[in-house]
Structure 1
């Protein structure tokens, strides 16, 4: 019997091909199939169809499962007359009896036309992109290979999974969590006992560009009245109320049989009769009870009813976690006028595309980085820098506790991670709301704390937090964080901007908070003595802050006079976020890290990141009751002992350099200056000289922008005692009188080194 071709019902194309690329392509097709002419037919007002026959290399032992693929297969190639080659050609089988029910990778039949071949995973837009650097011969070869693979049973890319239907011509989208509905089907969690359907509540989200229904909840039988009350409450709200939700009811139906369906139905029903009696029947689904529920008085269904059909497949559906494929219909409800308890057989159906809601796990998978942890990460400061970093982490699945007591003001929007909808809201609360918008079906991902972050440091953070990230640009909060007893199990990092925003600095503490953020900052400043780039930065900061000897802790954006562009903030935020994420996956490090990200405008916009590592410091308490703590950079204590041994039996000494923080009562010793050549020493005394000392200290102070300088004196007692001598006491008294005359007086810091101890004294 002669096969029936769909192209036989098409009318000849009698127009003129004005598209030169299309004319050239048709000539290439003639050469490919070795025919002198090709017939051009009308496919639509803007498309032409070209029927031709392709040769297929069938398996020598016969087609798998006897599938009816032939050595010569007629196909129809469809071109857009004006959009080609930007719009890729589509290829359809020309056989009306083509075995589409056993062939994955075929689009649905539409308007009585045969199904099309899915040649590129991702649909028509992906096909356009694929064709951008291909020729028509590549398309025809791909179709021929598709047919060969179908004959060999090798169309599925992954033999362990089931390829779902290729759906096109959607009339909207429906959003739900696949795993949630699959669990309902597997557990047969029906609305009624021994039933095969569940009742769903959706929120209708319409815009000028899209039509969406998002699943809000699965409604059990004892919650039907509450569901109706909720819908009524939302319906009473003004249409101008931004909190108003348009709610509707839908259904999920499945087969009570566990028999899997392995055949494809590429012609979905367009009316209720076909849906109930053919489609559901083919998939072993009894839709009788579903129809009764739809027609039940006071059932509360609106005119348009989403109906999700679960089809049990023999293998796990590709891209999902279970062997269930969902087809999403929308019924335009009409009761049969002759039978009030029945649906009108002609009630129309359309179908929608499934959209998986964004979950933290999905966000982590998409971003390629899993930041999902049991405990929260505390982010102190949700300003321009902190908000952007927080959003990066949220989109990796992080659970955050965000502390900020400031509002989002209009000028903040130039650099902030949030948009204008949150103006005059507390930043912390706005960040929490943004997380809810990202993950509407999740429990709380962001806990807001709209108060001073240092209040949280007084709580037992170890119970809820695994990490503290400080982006406050606040010296006051830094001091509180330094002094806070947060326990050794919490990791701490601090990020801020300096150098008018061109330099991003991230300090990452070592294990057990040693080295601490203030240790890292002091050692970074000391590093300027040998690093010209760090020195140049500190010198610039010193010039900008000529009235004080403090480096700007951080560039804040509280004022609308701060000149700093959003792209620079974004670069720093992206770098710091990446570093924080990397640190979260690495084992605890004994070393502390300082990352410097420099943005420059010349010769073009660019950034470069450098890393400096610092070893744990030696920590000692003052011997006298002054509450001061002294923190020695790694190696300094060993160097002091070595110099004592080398000079023994005589005493020796020198000058200590570093910095002091009166708020935290901390002295950081970052280096030594050896005894000047005019110093004198014997077995009982050491008299530190002055030759060249002032110049050496001045060089250090200038190189570090005034951040590192003279901080104290040290000398040895090689024969003891392990205490201050009378001469030491007199020296301290003399120094105290001298220091009190300074504008910013230093503490009097004296260090005594003996064979048995290193003894710091602070007055």
Structure 2
């Protein structure tokens, strides 16, 4: 109970008197602790410490006979080890180089020398547990069960921030190890050279603070989803943060219906920008479609002109021809990692899909956000390959048709083939070239600007997006049923694409949003 405010006692004896007045026998507690510590086999004098800390837990109440509201902690430093203190209290006796417990045949008065031992009050600080970390960081909620794919510079830095703020329970997946050049922009240090990255981030989580969330390391290739035994770590109900910096993993994960909600984060090659692609909670629009919609914005928007262009340079990080790394300061990683980590925490609390891109001017530090409209993904299954197109492209085709009625119209399709997952992804449909010829029953696409548009799309997307086929519209009063001319054109396209070993695609737009997709390849 709160009483008068007392100063800390200067000696051990006065501390014992203060506690005795409150019903606490400090002497008995000290004697029991010292005796138990020494045991029946004695204790070597050389093992005695230079000081002893007495820690007090003091329940605080506002009145007698009521539960304590909180527990105050006080600590006092005694400038003697417990063995020496036990000897001064008469609990221990020193014989040669060892201390022994005193066994008296009959009671005798013990020494009072201990009562004059000076003590010093020291501050007691509480270690930060998960709940306290969240309070101090302003984190709302404990966060999800989550998996980090890719414990490289970006992923490791983001995980470091989440662990410190008490957000989430994590599994980290990677197969690479720390090399000397990684230390320039990775949270690892010299101790971790040669260690696997997923084990490094797990070890660092333990070192950040006592009681931090445990990070479970999994050494595996994330692209080996089935044989690598990773499906439990990526399963439904978990959040999966893809920081792998690869194209292969998010595309493979998109094909698994039993995987958890994914969010992909990455830096641009120059380190001056970053992007976040978040699936909706129901995963009706997956990373493969969000990737395509991101490319469409990169191609069409002013900010995309140099968005994915090269870094400040490259350097050899090893002897292999693959050991080439980009020049990028750790400050760029940290700036974008902090932004992305914060955004992931906020955005996953809603169910919607999201694509956000940030551009940073390094000279001034100005950051500009570009938020993209997200459109529903549509899958069209062929026998040996799937075609993916989003509602943004189909709406654009319908708008092009309406604008040119009563004439037909058309243009080229931009996208990419991914033979690893047997998919064709349509990124955009371009307007008819200026030299096209059209009428209510006929359309012949021109060539003006087509080659340059394809080259520019490829340049802006680092060589990923290119020509995949053609689209055109049927006149008013018609659906999207293909004509003989449409089949003839598809065969012609397939023969041309066969030079690269790729299939050709044709999309037809008709009345009431009707859309027909056709695919052909030489030999199929």
TM-score, normalisation: structure 1: 0.55
Equivalent residues of 1:675, 1:688 under 8 A apart = no
Structure having the higher Rg? 1
Deviation digits for residues 503-538 of structure 1 (CA, Å, limit 9, x no counterpart): 333333344335433433333333245433311334
Say what the alpha-carbon RMSD is for the aligned residues.
3.6
Matching residue of 2:360? 598
CA distance in 1 between counterparts of 2:76 and 2:494 reads: 86
Q: CA deviation at 1:391?
A: 0.2
Residue 617 to residue 676, structure 1, CA distance change in 2 (3 Å): farther
Match 1:668 to one of 417, 426, 437 = 426
CA distance in 2 between counterparts of 1:588 and 1:688 reads: 44
CA distance in 2 between counterparts of 1:299 and 1:733 reads: 92
Q: CA deviation at 1:595?
A: 1.9
Q: Secondary structure of 1:576's match?
A: helix
Q: Does 1:704 align with 2:476?
A: no
Q: Does 1:345 align with 2:112?
A: yes
Alignment of 1:105-504 (within 5 A): 260-271=1-12, 273-276=13-16, 278-287=17-26, 289-294=28-33, 296=35, 299-300=38-39, 305-315=52-62, 322-331=69-78, 332=80, 333-335=85-87, 340=102, 344-347=111-114, 348=117, 349-370=119-140, 372-373=142-143, 375-398=144-167, 399-441=169-211, 445-455=214-224, 459-461=231-233, 466-487=238-259, 490-504=260-274
CA distance in 1 between counterparts of 2:110 and 2:238 reads: 58
Deviation digits for residues 334-355 of structure 1 (CA, Å, limit 9, x no counterpart): 3358774787433234443212
Matching residue of 1:588? 351
Deviation digits for residues 132-189 of structure 1 (CA, Å, limit 9, x no counterpart): xxxxxxxxxxxxxxxxxxxxxxxxxxxxxxxxxxxxxxxxxxxxxxxxxxxxxxxxxx
Deviation digits for residues 63-98 of structure 1 (CA, Å, limit 9, x no counterpart): xxxxxxxxxxxxxxxxxxxxxxxxxxxxxxxxxxxx
Q: CA deviation at 1:455?
A: 4.0
Task: Judge which range, 690-699 or 383-392, deviates more.
Answer: 690-699
Task: Judge which range, 698-707 or 495-504, deviates more.
Answer: 698-707
Equivalent residues of 1:370, 1:397 under 8 A apart = no
CA distance in 1 between counterparts of 2:312 and 2:383 reads: 38
Match 2:327 to one of 540, 563, 567 = 563
Q: Secondary structure of 1:412's match?
A: helix
Matching residue of 1:737? 495
Q: CA deviation at 1:495?
A: 1.9
Q: CA deviation at 1:596?
A: 1.9
Deviation digits for residues 101-152 of structure 1 (CA, Å, limit 9, x no counterpart): xxxxxxxxxxxxxxxxxxxxxxxxxxxxxxxxxxxxxxxxxxxxxxxxxxxx
Matching residue of 2:508? 752
Task: Judge which range, 732-741 or 705-714, deviates more.
Answer: 705-714
Equivalent residues of 1:594, 1:613 under 8 A apart = yes
Q: Secondary structure of 1:537's match?
A: coil
Q: CA deviation at 1:541?
A: 4.3
Q: Which runs of 5+ in 1 are unaligned?
A: 1-259, 546-557
Deviation digits for residues 266-313 of structure 1 (CA, Å, limit 9, x no counterpart): 031512x3333x111232223464255146466549665543223332
Residue 358 to residue 438, structure 1, CA distance change in 2 (3 Å): farther
Residue 669 to residue 427, structure 1, CA distance change in 2 (3 Å): closer
Q: Does 1:659 align with 2:429?
A: no
Equivalent residues of 1:633, 1:670 under 8 A apart = no
Q: CA deviation at 1:759?
A: 1.5
CA distance in 2 between counterparts of 1:544 and 1:698 reads: 26
CA distance in 2 between counterparts of 1:499 and 1:361 reads: 37
Residue 712 to residue 310, structure 1, CA distance change in 2 (3 Å): same
Q: CA deviation at 1:393?
A: 0.7
Matching residue of 1:66? none
Q: Which runs of 5+ in 2 are unaligned?
A: 92-101, 104-108, 315-321
Q: CA deviation at 1:371?
A: 5.7
Deviation digits for residues 342-389 of structure 1 (CA, Å, limit 9, x no counterpart): 87433234443212112222222222224622x422111111111111
Q: CA deviation at 1:411?
A: 2.2
Match 1:630 to one of 380, 385, 388 = 388
Matching residue of 1:181? none
How many residues get paired? 469
Residue 287 to residue 560, structure 1, CA distance change in 2 (3 Å): same
Matching residue of 2:96? none
Deviation digits for residues 664-712 of structure 1 (CA, Å, limit 9, x no counterpart): 30322423313755424455xx342316353673585377355545432
Residue 351 to residue 671, structure 1, CA distance change in 2 (3 Å): same
Deviation digits for residues 16-36 of structure 1 (CA, Å, limit 9, x no counterpart): xxxxxxxxxxxxxxxxxxxxx
Matching residue of 1:235? none
Q: Does 1:615 align with 2:374?
A: yes
Equivalent residues of 2:276, 2:357 under 8 A apart = yes
Q: Greater relative contact order (Cα 8 A, min sep 6): structure 1 or 2?
A: 2
Residue 508 to residue 269, structure 1, CA distance change in 2 (3 Å): same
Matching residue of 1:523? 293
CA distance in 2 between counterparts of 1:295 and 1:523 reads: 70
Q: Secondary structure of 1:674's match?
A: coil
CA distance in 2 between counterparts of 1:654 and 1:493 reads: 35
Matching residue of 1:23? none
Deviation digits for residues 224-249 of structure 1 (CA, Å, limit 9, x no counterpart): xxxxxxxxxxxxxxxxxxxxxxxxxx
Residue 682 to residue 565, structure 1, CA distance change in 2 (3 Å): closer
Deviation digits for residues 399-445 of structure 1 (CA, Å, limit 9, x no counterpart): 21111111112221121112222222211112111111234346x52
Residue 408 to residue 694, structure 1, CA distance change in 2 (3 Å): closer
